[in-house]
Amino acid sequence: MIYVRNIADTMSKAMPDHADAFAANAEAYIARLEALDKETREKLAALPENRRTVVTAHDAFGYLADAYGLTFLAPVGIDTEAEPSARDLATLIKQLKEQEVAALFVENITSPALVQQISDETGIEIGGRLFSDALSERGGPATSYLAMFQHNLGALLEALGNTNEG
């Protein structure tokens, strides 16, 4: 929300005749962000503790983990170009077999091969595709920040809420 206000302030200074419109648009967007945050907190709070750990290809979701009480594990750090060593991958697979991991996710900016290999070796299902560092193409599910967040929330809830019981 700080970014939204900073952008509105900067645009207002650059085009003072439109300052009221920038301020109104910023407040409307912030209201949408706050509503989405509230919805996210309510829905994720309903998940059992053992359904809050997921694996993604690289470490891009720390903000979600911190804000909403999830745990994201990744075989690769924040560099999407790096590949984990065989030893690192074996260690991760061993760790995942010992932990309660609810789902694996592929990302829009990385090859799904690594996540598929982890799924094959652990038996943990791939829960879907998350958007991390880039939006989707025009007409896709994540063409704006709000759409991306809503898509990711939906994918997480679908996978984490699926207990495969009953």
The predicted structure's pLDDT at residue 81: 59
- In sequence order, the β-bridge partners of residue 107 are 130
| Phi, psi for 14 (deg, rounded to 5) | -75, -35
Question: What pTM was computed for the model?
Answer: 0.82
| Fold for the domain defined by 47-161 | Rossmann fold (3.40.50)
The predicted structure's pLDDT at residue 142: 94
pLDDT-flagged residues of the chain (< 70): 76-82, 162-166
The predicted structure's pLDDT at residue 165: 45
